[in-house]
Chains A and B, each alone.
Chain A
Amino acid sequence: KAGVTQTPRYLIKTRGQQVTLSCSPISGHRSVSWYQQTPGQGLQFLFEYFSETQRNKGNFPGRFSGRQFSNSRSEMNVSTLELGDSALYLCASSLDRPRNTEAFFGQGTRLTVV
């Protein structure tokens, strides 16, 4: 079955713009999480969504937001982009609780802010 799909794969934006990234989870997975990966900070948790509800949020400014649709697809939005937002943004999906499950990651969206 198809894996986690993230679009677009690469994106170049200028400071001050906003961007929307998309994630389609594995079929049947209802939990979607987002992570930011940078060389300096490593992998940092952004948000977790389940059944269209944000279940958990990381320590990122309000410029970072997300949502999940009824088909479990998710989007994240970053407004007023800063140079420091340049990173690989990863989406992961997993089956819902209460079973212990593993997260499956997409290939990521490489965002460059110039």
Chain B
Amino acid sequence: AQSVSQHNHHVILSEAASLELGCNYSYGGTVNLFWYVQYPGQHLQLLLKYFSGDPLVKGIKGFEAEFIKSKFSFNLRKPSVQWSDTAEYFCAVNGLNTDKLIFGTGTRLQVFP
């Protein structure tokens, strides 16, 4: 079955701490991978995406993610978080022949000054 697992449901950090959010997927075939962010009261926005090529992808606001095919993982990282990174983060996957996104359950990140 197609699924996405996000292991961290709620993460609390202080500003300047490093962040790593886990994402593992189960999907037959070649996949596209995404991280979306939902700031309080705002719509889902794309942080970064992986379609092919370099498995280390860089997104907006200093975020990056690494696709490790052997581990079916696409973990999100940021070396130093800011208070403004407080949001909910969603990992998602789709196949090459569909726009249907399968989302993880999300990770709520709270950053304290």
Contact = CB atoms under 8 A, between A and B. Distances in A.
A102 B49 contact: yes
A1 interface: no
Contacts, number: 60
Interface stretch (A14-22, A41-49, A60-68, A70-78): A41-49
Given A90-B44, A102-B46, A56 B100 contact: yes
A74 to B, nearest CB: 13
Contacts of B102: 45
Nearest to B42: A107
Interface in B85-113: 90, 92, 96-106
B43 A43 contact: no
Given A42-B105, A43-B90, A100-B51, A105 B43 contact: yes
B34 interface: yes
B32 interface: yes
A33 interface: yes
B60 to A, nearest CB: 12
B100 A45 contact: yes
A106 B103 contact: no
Interface string B26-59: 0000001010100000111110010110000000
A31 B32 CA distance: 16
A24 interface: no
Contacts of B106: 42-43
Given A44-B103, A101-B99, 19 more contacts: A33-B100, A35-B101, A35-B103, A45-B100, A45-B101, A48-B98, A48-B99, A48-B100, A56-B98, A92-B44, A92-B99, A97-B96, A97-B99, A100-B32, A100-B51, A102-B34, A102-B49, A103-B101, A105-B45
Q: Which 8 residue pairs of A and B lie closest in terms of their CB atoms, listed nearest first?
A: A43-B103, A105-B44, A100-B51, A107-B43, A42-B105, A56-B100, A31-B99, A105-B43
15 contacts: A3-B43, A33-B99, A33-B101, A35-B101, A42-B106, A43-B92, A43-B103, A44-B103, A45-B101, A56-B100, A94-B99, A100-B96, A103-B101, A105-B36, A105-B44
